[in-house]
Chains A and B, each alone.
Chain A
Amino acid sequence: MREIISNIFKGIWVEQTQSEPPVLTNDTVLLDTGLDSLGFAIVVTRLEEELGYDPFSISEDAYYPQTFGEFVEFYELHRPKA
C-alpha cells in the first residue's frame, strides 16, 4: 500500500513540478512537499482508479491527514475487506 501511494504521489509530483520527487517519510507534512491541495486531489483520484476505493468518501469521519504517515494509515484503515 505504502509503495503504491508513494509511486502515484511521486508520479504526480514529477508531472506537476518537472523535478526530482522528495523523500517521503511518515512525518513528512503533505502540504510541505510542494504539492498543493489540487495535487492531492489528483493523488486521491488516481489512487481510487488504481485501488478501487476512496477512503475519504467511505469514511464516516471528516478527516484531513496532515502527514504522509497519516495518509497511508487512512488508506489501510479503510481498505475494503476481501
Chain B
Amino acid sequence: MSVEDVGALIQLLVACDGHCEALLLLSGSLPADDVESLAQEARIDMIVSDRTDLHSARPVSEVLEMAPGQPGSSITPCKTEWIMTTSGTTGRPKMISHTLESLSRTVSRPTEGAQQNIWGLVYDPTRFAGMQVVLQSLLGGGVLVVSSPQDSMGQRLALFGNEGITHLSATPTLWRRFLMQPEISSLALRQITLGGEIADQTILDALHRQFSDARIVHIYASTELGVGFSVKDLREGFPAAWLDQAPGSIAMRITEGTLRIKAATTSAASGAEQQMAPDDDGYLDTQDTVEKIGGRVLFRGRDNGTVNIGGVKIYPETVEQILNARPEVMISHVFSKKNPFSGNILIAEVVISPGIDNEADLKTDLLRHCRDKLPKEAVPALIRVVPDIILNPAGKVRRS
C-alpha cells in the first residue's frame, strides 16, 4: 500500500492485519516506478493507493469493502507480515520484515486514570519511526494529530499547538528547524523524543531550555539489528557503565572503534542476519563509530563512510567523483563539518588546473555542476581552492 491520507492508511491497516499474508507499507511519496518494482520484488498480489499516478492500484474504499466482517467476505484469519522500508544509502528503500507484535513491543498500554497523551506526527507513518508514533498513540489509548502534507513547518506547529499535543518525536534535524519557528512557543510538550541521527548536547540543551518540564529522550536504534535503547539523562551519548551492564536485554562493547551489540532475543529484523555475521561471542557490528570519553560513550558517525546531512546519508566520495569529472579540477577532497542547522555539512577542497585565474567564477560553476548532478544535501556548502591535498601512503585522499 502507498497511501497519502494517514487516516485511510490506518483504516487499511486495521482492516488487513490478521487477514492477509503480508502487508508492504510504502511511503505515499515514493516514486510510482519504485512502488511497482518493490511490490514486484515482494511478490505482492494487489497494490492499494489513493494516488492518481499508480495505474495498477485499487482504491482504498474498494479494499475496505472487501475486509472481513463485510457481507460476502471469504477471508480467513492468518498472521500478517508487515514489510516496511528503511532508507538505503543507494537511494532505493530496503525492505525489512516485522509483525504488529514486534512493532508494538515497546508500546505502553493505557493505564486507568492516566492523563491522555496527544501525539503529533511528523514522520512518514510507513517508516519505522513514524509507525512507532502511530502505534504508541493509538494502541496506547491516546490521540494522534496529523497535519496535511502541504502544510508548512509553521502551520504544522501551529496546528499541534491548537490541538494541545503533549508528545512529539522527530529527528535532531527536524527539532532544530522547530526551534527556529516562532510557533514552537505554542507547544506545551511533556515528552520529546529524538531519533534517527546523533543527538548532540547542543540540541538537547536547547530543547531542555525551551521545554524545561518535558521528559527528553534520545533513542539509539539499529534498524538492521532490530535493537536499541533510549537515553533519558539529558546528556549526549550514553553512560560508559552500560558497556558493563546495558539496560534491557542487550549487551554492548566497543571493538575497533565501532559499537557492537548483542541482543538476547533476535527481533524480527530478518534482513539483518544475511548481511551481517556476528562475531564469535554473538556481537553484531552496528557500524556506528563511538568514542569513550570520561564516563560517557559518544557517537561520532558511521563507519561505512557515509555522513548524515540533514537526515540524508551521503558518501563524500560520490561528490568527489562529480567534482573530479570536471577538467578544471585536478583533485578534490570532500569532508563533513558539524553544523548547528543540518547536523553536518559538506566542504569541498579542490586543486585546480594551472592557468585558471577567476576562482570565484569557477566556484560558482562547480557548485552549479554539483546541483545538477546531486541531491541538494550532497552539494558542498563551500568550495575552497587549495594548493594541495594530502594523500595517505596508499595514495588515497585521507579520511579521518
Contact = CB atoms under 8 A, between A and B. Distances in A.
Interface of A: 15-16, 29-32, 36-38, 40-42, 44-46, 49, 56-57, 61-67
A63 B176 CA distance: 10
Q: How large is the interface on B (under 10, 10 to 19, 20 to 34, 35 or more residues)?
A: 20 to 34
Give the most central of A42, A61, A64, A67: most B CB within 10 Å.
A64
Interface stretch (B94-102, B317-325, B334-342): B334-342
A44 B340 contact: yes
B382 interface: yes
Contact of A41 (B179, B209, B381): B381
Contact of B180 (A16, A46, A61, A64): A64
Contacts of B347: 45
Interface string B175-191: 01101111000000000
B205 interface: yes
B310 interface: yes
A41 B310 contact: yes
B181 A62 contact: no
B4 interface: no
A16 B376 CA distance: 9
B196 to A, nearest CB: 15
Interface in B204-220: 204-206, 209
Q: Which 6 A-B pairs have the closest CB atoms?
A: A62-B206, A62-B205, A41-B342, A64-B179, A45-B381, A56-B340
Given A38-B310, A42-B381, A45-B381, A29 B181 contact: yes
A31 B206 CA distance: 18
B153 interface: yes
Given A32-B154, A46-B382, A62-B202, A41 B181 contact: no
B374 to A, nearest CB: 13
A79 B140 CA distance: 49
B345 A62 contact: no
Nearest to A71: B180
Give the most central of A45, A46, A63: most B CB within 10 Å.
A45
14 contacts: A15-B367, A31-B154, A31-B181, A32-B154, A37-B176, A37-B180, A38-B310, A42-B381, A45-B345, A57-B338, A62-B202, A64-B180, A66-B179, A66-B180
